[in-house]
Amino acid sequence: MQALTNRSKVVAKKEMTFIEKLYLPAIFSGMIITFKHFFRRKPTIKYPEQIRPFSGVYRGQHVLKRDENGAERCTACGLCAVACPAEAITMISAERKPGEENLYREEKYAATYEINMLRCIFCGDCEDACPKEAIFLTERKVDSLYTRNELIFGKDILVESRENPIDLSKRQTPQVKEFKHHKEFAHNVVFEKKK
């Protein structure tokens, strides 16, 4: 049979010579390699104490943002859920009652909003689809947990707290905002070019 690559070596089962039978040269050459590594830079880091620099647009755990008045931006429009390739997002919407204007930005809001972190592939499509700038992926990592139910994150985990808002300035740069401003017309540009 013809080999698929030319990297395979023919194994010859020949008698070892006297030098080879001593094994010492082989052991020394092996030890040289081992000792060389003592003086090399370590490729690993001591993880929990030491953390590698993250990209500013690393896609980690999601956050549901509040607006400048502290009201939830999400209106449960469902575009993130329909954009989600892993079908990880589900939500139930509800109507805002009079007097809840400081809690929810618009007349409809997400009564429950769940992301199944076991399903999520952190592609960021939900962030792209969101018309209200409500959902973002952040550079926070998702913790490992013991049960499956714990990994279905609800609004209690996802919505940012009023006291400690999540800083998005690394991913919401002025250029990104400018791009988003014109994003609605993006499909038209393609359409016109085709003609």
Residues binding another protein (CB under 8 A): 75-79, 81-82, 87, 93-95, 106-108, 131-132, 184-185, 187-188, 191-192, 194
Q: How far, in Å, CA of 79 to CA of 173, rounded?
A: 23
Considering beta carbons, is residue 90 or 172 the nearer one to another protein?
90
Considering beta carbons, is residue 61 or 72 the nearer one to another protein?
72
Least distance to another protein, CB of residue 188, Å: 4
Least distance to another protein, CB of residue 96, Å: 10
| 63 touches 99 (CB < 8 A) | no
Query: What sign for the dihedral angle of Cα 46, 50, 53, 57?
Result: positive
Burial class (CB in 10 A: 0-12, 13-18, 19+), 62: buried
Considering beta carbons, is residue 20 or 101 the nearer one to another protein?
101
Considering beta carbons, is residue 132 or 170 the nearer one to another protein?
132
Least distance to another protein, CB of residue 120, Å: 18
Residue 145 gets the label, from left (phi > 0), alpha (psi -120 to 50) or beta, of: beta
Q: What is the DSSP letter of 68?
A: T
Least distance to another protein, CB of residue 72, Å: 13
Considering beta carbons, is residue 141 or 183 the nearer one to another protein?
183
Upper half-sphere CA count for residue 103 (Cβ side, 13 Å): 12
The residues near 56 (Cβ < 8 Å, ≥ 6 apart) are 139, 170, 171
Burial class (CB in 10 A: 0-12, 13-18, 19+), 84: buried
Considering beta carbons, is residue 21 or 187 the nearer one to another protein?
187
Least distance to another protein, CB of residue 50, Å: 43
Least distance to another protein, CB of residue 82, Å: 6
